[in-house]
Structure 1
Amino acid sequence: MLRRTLGRHRGKLAAGTALLVVHQLAETAVPIAIGVIVGRAITTGATDALLWSVAGLGALFLVLTAAWRTGARLIVAAMQSEAHLLRVEVAGRILHPRGVRTDLRSGELLTVATSDAEREAWILDVLPRIIAALTGVVASAVTLLLIDVPLGLAVLLGTPVILGLMQLVAPLITRRATAQQEATARASGMATDLVAGLRPLRGLGAEREAARRYREVSGRALDATLRAARTTGAFLGVSVTVSALLAVGVAGFAGALALDGRITVGELITVVGLSQFVIEPLGMLARVPGFVANARASADRLALVLDAEPLVPAGSHPLPATADLELVDVSYRSLRGLSLRAEPGELLGVLAHGPQDAEALAQLLSGHVPPEDYRGTVTVGGAGLAELDLAAARRALLVEPHHTDLFAGTVGSNVAAGRPDAEPEAVRRVLEASAAADVVGAHPHGLDLAVTDRGASLSGGQRQRVALARALLAQAPVLVLHDPTTAVDAVTEHAIAEGISRLRHGADEPRAHTTVLITSSPALLSVADRVLVLEDGRVAGQGTHGELAAADENYRKVVLR
């Protein structure tokens, strides 16, 4: 990944690196120029030479500044561009219809798509700085060699020794940085999950337990961060100290040479200036392993997502001609040999005595479960769900889960999210069928009523109705609704039941739609053509709502509450 990052920004990287090298060479030339000015203009008292020297020094600073500003802008532009490309790439991989096989939670994936994408792009800043710093050190060493061979050799030999010692500690820094990023991502993931589930936690009275678990995870993240910081700090302190001692040694040795008359005053000033300047590139080289370690660790985490296998196969079968749904001897989670069939045009109700059975059925039909994770067959229109072309499968079978999210925007944009080209009459019909017309009619902005992220600006019942309208507008041949009315009152629930039946199975409906209602709502089950009762993961009974209510005591206890 790091090689790919460097490759796809090689133009800006090469230009930016060249300009940073020019900047370092100009920085190196500053103490040389000052030494020359002292030796040839000030000590000689030549006014003309002094004026020309000062003008030349000003031009040198102009080149120095311009090279840095332009080069830095190119490097920063490349870094920001790469971070953006990585964020888009990771988001696309996470949101791909085939899914992504990873153990990372949503909060951890968010960290990968944000902070890890930014840190991986650091390599575009690190490499030019390494090359520029090495250029500055080599240029300083060559200048010192020309002044005095032992001085130049001290820098040329001392620098590789310092760099070699730094590389010995680099693997430890990488491990500590990786552990710190993983621990931070876990803490972020738990925080995201806790915020998303705050209301259920309050309902269960589990705030204290949730806070305790977060404190533990956050504490481990803090410990990992402190370990990484201590390692990096100790490494940086030692390396900078060694670099400074080398510079001080070179300056002291030059002072002794000047006292012996082996070098001039101007050369002494140049050596002292270079010995002070060389601390900067050596200090940069000392920090490099830490930057590289962070970039490498982030690249590893990005690769975990970008190289992850898709959850479900692509499939190749076209859109099925009929709208029937069939499960044969399916075992998945709590389901045990479940077999059921929804005929084309049928409004089928499913009552699960165990909520885990309802959740497993909805998850299985969503198309996000790999074929190897369940046994049995699931077919839509006679074609295996896993064998359908992905786009065809999404058009043929739509599962609206119990927990749905809305997008930031308006009520209208959320309802038409799946069909932005829908006719106004179609939108009006689904709003009435889902009882969401009240949400629109109760506000002067109507369909333009603003909706915040995840629909937080709406009540629970309003969110459910808008999400149901969105699902109905998609006009999927097979529509599966899992508890779509748990947040509405009984009167609204009855209106929604009648609306779903009328919209998808009314006499004036030209297309044969199949609808599956996974629910315990008596209003919804009463409009179903047939009701299946699930118990212990399999079908335990079937009939109309009226028949089951009259003959099955357990059914009456669950439904007629």
Structure 2
Amino acid sequence: MEFTPGSVMRRSVRRHRRRLAGGVVLLSLHQATEAAVPVVIGIFVDQAVSTGRLESLLWCVLMLFALFAVLSNAWKAGARQVMRAIEYETHQLRLEIARRVLDPRGHRTGLRSGELLLIATSDAEKASLVLRAVALGFAGSTALAVSSVALLLVDVPLGIGVMIGVPLLVLGIQALSPLLTRRTSSQQEAVANTTALATDLVGGLRTLRGIGAQHNAAERYRRSSQETLKATLRAASTNGLQDGVTTALSGLLLAAVAGIAGWFALDGRISIGELITVVGLAQFVAEPVGLLGFSGQVFAMSRASAGRLASVLGSPWGIATGISTTVDPSKPLLALEGVGYKTLSSLDLSLQPGELVGVLCYDPRDADALLTVVAGRAAEHSGRVLVGGAEVEELDIDLVRRSVLVEQHDTDLFEGTLRSNLLAGSGNTARLDRVVAAAAATDVVEAHADGLDHPLADRGRTLSGGQRQRLGLARALLAEPPVLVLHDPSTAVDAVTEELLAEGLAEVRGVATLATLVLTSSPALLGKMHRVLVVSDGVLVAEGRHAELAETDSAYQEAVLR
């Protein structure tokens, strides 16, 4: 589906058309009855006040009572329907953005996390306001139609003048909408940039303080904030201009209609009651004209936000995937054939069931490139990546995720408990104690009185780097994927813990149905591997067991022996 600002807004209307239709009918009824109020008052003056008839007076009072009862309840019920549709649509848009951003295929929006967060919150809310714009637009048009008909019944030339003047007035107001859309869009982009910058600065605050760059960072944020302020003021000035033009032109229209009606009443062309009706309607017309002007402002703001939503929802996928849901169990669980990506050059690699394979990359960039390829985040690479003998591009993304798990060096933990972070939605509690011990994380659990139920702060801030690393490894082991890829899983632990971790990893993963690839320079881990691959300048330069390579290869010795 092709996403554009218009398509996003039209889809919002379609998805809530029933609830929106109910709201439009009720709000239009409210505006119609409000337009009928000066008509009833005019009849009241002509039929009851002028004649002094009690029966007519009672009927007019009953009519006014009924009108106000209808308009009050119609407004409440209609506004409730529209607001419910807006809230549901906001929620749906936020879910769509979150689903798109979190999709394992990735995206190519080029937006930072702070910008994406703003789109998923503020822009989703503003884009859904198109429903309010539609409802208010219909309601205002209904009020103008009823007012014009009533004026035509009072005096045809007067009614025709209003019917011509009001559309011209509305068109004049809407002429500012494109400018408002552009300035609102610029404002939202500036806010998103500043929000993203603030997110980045807060996340790297310790690093900035460590290198003494916090003052430069603050100055950069100040400049970005000033640009956002200027963009906001430009958008606000356009809004204010539109409000001022709407009020001024409505007042001029009211004065013109009231003056002409007074002249007609002096000539005896219309009665006193009809004069009151005309003046009341002319005064009331300012409300629906204002509604149409406000509707235009909301529509412009909604369109700008819808454009930002469309840029995310319609962005191309980061990687291509297929639909096949089967693999050949007799083939290598993971294989790379002639893969070239960034610093990698025609790299071959295979993982058989039951194997633990270590990879030593002399250049860290080779390790990063290999991880990106294996994780399926390389949008374009040469050669082939196969899982169970089938190319990754031909397999269903869910099958790939179940088959290959990449545990990054920087472990992500979430607010909750140790147990909820380890299980990660899985009900596999039988192996929990075993994998915690295999990851040498037993001391992390036993350090707290409530054990696995110990609460964690966001990102595991209350834990040390080594504790977070071991918990991440335990979580990966508990998932028990056919292929587990680890990147430096022991860099933040001491030598004794590292040895325990290496033994536990070999014990848990050393079974016939599983395969493990470990990118590391740790001699403790490499010593537990069935074979070690050495990558230099993007190509495979050596292969063998750790002990053999450590004895015969001087470069290998320099890289791993401590």
Normalised to the residue count of structure 1, the TM-score between the two structures is 0.92
Distance 2:243 2:412 in 1: 47
Q: Which residue of 270, 278, 283 corresponds with 1:271? A: 278
Match of 1:412 in 2: 419
Post-superposition shift, 1:440? 2.0
Q: Which residue of 445, 456, 459 corresponds with 1:451? A: 456
Quick check: 68-77 or 8-17, which moved more? Answer: 8-17
Q: Which residue of 247, 258, 267 corresponds with 2:254? A: 247
Do the aligned partners of 2:13 and 2:20 also contact (CA within 8 Å) in 1?
yes
Distance 1:430 1:168 in 2: 66
Q: Which residue of 281, 284, 287 corresponds with 1:280? A: 287
For the structure 1 residues 376 and 217, does the alpha-carbon distance in structure 2 shift closer, same or farther, using more than 3 Å as the test?
farther
Do the aligned partners of 1:323 and 1:513 also contact (CA within 8 Å) in 2?
no
Post-superposition shift, 1:324? 4.0
Match of 2:532 in 1: 531
Distance 1:84 1:140 in 2: 38
Match of 2:113 in 1: 106
Do the aligned partners of 1:173 and 1:289 also contact (CA within 8 Å) in 2?
no
Post-superposition shift, 1:352? 2.2
What stretches of structure 1 of length at least 5 have no aligned partner? none
Distance 2:30 2:77 in 1: 10
Q: How does 1:295-314 map to 2 (within 5 A)?
A: 295-310=302-317, 311-314=319-322
Could you list the runs of 4 or more consecutive aligned residues of structure 1 that deviate by over 6 angstroms after TM superposition?
A: none
Match of 1:335 in 2: 344
Do the aligned partners of 1:232 and 1:290 also contact (CA within 8 Å) in 2?
yes
Do the aligned partners of 2:532 and 2:544 also contact (CA within 8 Å) in 1?
yes
Residue identity matched to 1:545: H
Do the aligned partners of 1:173 and 1:293 also contact (CA within 8 Å) in 2?
yes
Q: How does 1:111-150 map to 2 (within 5 A)?
A: 111-150=118-157
Task: Give CA-to-partner distance per residue, 1:9-45, whole Å, 9 cap, x none.
Answer: 1111111111111100111111222222233323444
Match of 2:370 in 1: 361
Quick check: 161-170 or 9-18, which moved more? Answer: 161-170
Distance 1:394 1:284 in 2: 51
Do the aligned partners of 2:327 and 2:389 also contact (CA within 8 Å) in 1?
no
For the structure 1 residues 5 and 235, does the alpha-carbon distance in structure 2 shift closer, same or farther, using more than 3 Å as the test?
same
Quick check: 305-314 or 542-551, which moved more? Answer: 542-551
Matched, 1:422 2:431: no
Post-superposition shift, 1:225? 2.4
Distance 1:324 1:59 in 2: 77
For the structure 1 residues 410 and 390, does the alpha-carbon distance in structure 2 shift closer, same or farther, using more than 3 Å as the test?
same
Match of 2:327 in 1: 319
Superposition CA RMSD, Å:
2.4
Distance 1:486 1:255 in 2: 89
What secondary structure sits across from 2:295 in the alignment?
helix
What secondary structure sits across from 1:348 in the alignment?
strand
Distance 1:30 1:298 in 2: 38
Distance 2:468 2:252 in 1: 67
What secondary structure sits across from 1:266 in the alignment?
helix
- Identity %, equivalent residues: 51
Match of 1:178 in 2: 185
For the structure 1 residues 522 and 214, does the alpha-carbon distance in structure 2 shift closer, same or farther, using more than 3 Å as the test?
farther
Q: Which residue of 385, 389, 397 corresponds with 2:396? A: 389
Distance 1:234 1:557 in 2: 71
Post-superposition shift, 1:51? 3.8
Post-superposition shift, 1:548? 4.1
What secondary structure sits across from 2:89 in the alignment?
helix
What secondary structure sits across from 2:176 in the alignment?
helix
Matched, 1:224 2:224: no
Match of 2:519 in 1: 518
Normalised to the residue count of structure 2, the TM-score between the two structures is 0.91
Do the aligned partners of 2:321 and 2:394 also contact (CA within 8 Å) in 1?
yes
Q: How does 1:80-95 map to 2 (within 5 A)?
A: 80-95=87-102
Residue identity matched to 1:376: G
Post-superposition shift, 1:126? 1.0
For the structure 1 residues 252 and 556, does the alpha-carbon distance in structure 2 shift closer, same or farther, using more than 3 Å as the test?
farther
Match of 2:408 in 1: 401
What stretches of structure 2 of length at least 5 have no aligned partner? 1-7
Post-superposition shift, 1:543? 3.9
